[in-house]
């Protein structure tokens, strides 16, 4: 399996002969990031109304679309991949308009991956239960407007994923405030954090670590600093 961080909350995940893109963004003036033009078999997104997480127009046609907010009750099986989702919201404390979204999970090559969508609040017991069994957590690591870092740390401690790949933090391009990835990694011992000089990681079920490790990838589509 390959996991490539494109930028922001967008990843290209390859496994079981499939290409899955998560939470594609609109390359507008606020996001200020290059368009996503990779091909995909499946595009999964946490909502259908947030330009930073739902924009599919730059992705070549031919993919099946999964919108997490639409499958919270039923789940979905797309091209043999089972998707589950749990309802969440943007920050109910700091946002003037609070939009719905959903965290979602799927399994490729025996590895269960969870994308945190755009959640902006501490997770409830029910939300944490829905994330149980996660092997790879694609984690919102930039603080407001998403989940606070102290609350994210509590999620990781409760779910205990094997790998955490941070996303949605300050990188060259986006023109709104997010915290740096080192603000997030400072919660963890240095020896548990890997900094590969790459936007991509390859893994198998057998190569997953026994205890949680953080892997900080480089965004493949970030603007020049």
Nearest alpha carbon to residue 106 among 75, 128, 82: 82
pLDDT of 69: 98
Q: In which order are the strands placed within the sheet that holds 136-140? A: 76-78, 81-89, 100-108, 111-115, 136-140, 163-167, 213-215, 193-194
Reported as a single tens digit per residue, the pLDDT across 65-79 is 999 999 999 999 999
pLDDT of residue 182 exceeding 80: yes
pLDDT of residue 26 exceeding 60: yes
Q: What is the mean pLDDT of the chain?
A: 96
Q: In whole angstroms, what is the distance from residue 51 CA to residue 56 CA?
A: 9
Question: What pairing do the DSSP bridges indicate for beta strands 2-7 and 200-202?
Answer: antiparallel
Q: What is the mean pLDDT of residues 97-107?
A: 94
pLDDT of residue 51 exceeding 90: yes
| Paired tokens of 34 | 């290059």
pLDDT of residue 187 exceeding 60: yes
For residue 126, the surrounding DSSP H or E stretch is helix 125-130
CATH of domain 2-215: 3.60.15.10
| pLDDT confidence band for 223 (50 / 70 / 90) | confident
Reported as a single tens digit per residue, the pLDDT across 112-155 is 999 999 999 999 999 999 999 999 999 999 998 899 999 999 99
Question: What pairing do the DSSP bridges indicate for beta strands 10-15 and 18-22?
Answer: antiparallel
Distances (CA, A) of 201 to 3, 7, 177: 5, 14, 27
Q: In whole angstroms, what is the distance from residue 65 CA to residue 78 CA?
A: 9
Q: In whole angstroms, what is the distance from residue 27 CA to residue 157 CA?
A: 34
| pLDDT confidence band for 216 (50 / 70 / 90) | very high
pLDDT of residue 192 exceeding 90: yes
Higher pLDDT pick, 207 / 93: 207
The domain segmentation of the chain, as residue ranges, is 2-215
| pLDDT confidence band for 92 (50 / 70 / 90) | confident
């Amino acid at each position: 399996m390959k996991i490539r961080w494109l930028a922001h909350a967008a990843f290209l995940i390859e496994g079981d002969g499939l290409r899955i893109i998560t939470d594609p963004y609109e390359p507008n003036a606020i996001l200020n990031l290059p368009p996503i033009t990779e091909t995909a078999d499946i595009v999964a997104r946490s909502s259908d109304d947030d330009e930073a997480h739902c924009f599919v127009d730059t992705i070549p046609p031919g993919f099946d679309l999964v919108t997490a907010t639409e499958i919270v009750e039923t789940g979905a099986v797309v091209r043999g991949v089972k998707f589950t989702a749990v309802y969440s919201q943007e920050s109910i404390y700091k946002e003037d308009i609070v939009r719905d979204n959903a965290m979602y999970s799927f399994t490729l090559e025996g590895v269960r991956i969870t994308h945190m969508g755009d959640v902006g609040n501490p997770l409830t017991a029910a939300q944490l239960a829905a994330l149980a069994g996660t092997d790879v957590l694609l984690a919102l690591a930039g603080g407001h407007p998403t989940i606070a870092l102290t609350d994210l740390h509590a999620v990781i401690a409760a779910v205990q994923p094997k790998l955490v790949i941070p996303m949605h933090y300050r990188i060259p391009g986006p023109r709104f405030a997010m915290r740096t990835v080192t603000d997030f990694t400072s919660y963890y011992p240095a020896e548990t954090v890997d900094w590969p000089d790459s936007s991509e990681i390859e893994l198998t079920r057998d190569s997953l670590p026994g205890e949680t490790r953080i892997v900080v990838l480089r965004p493949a589509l970030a603007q020049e600093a």
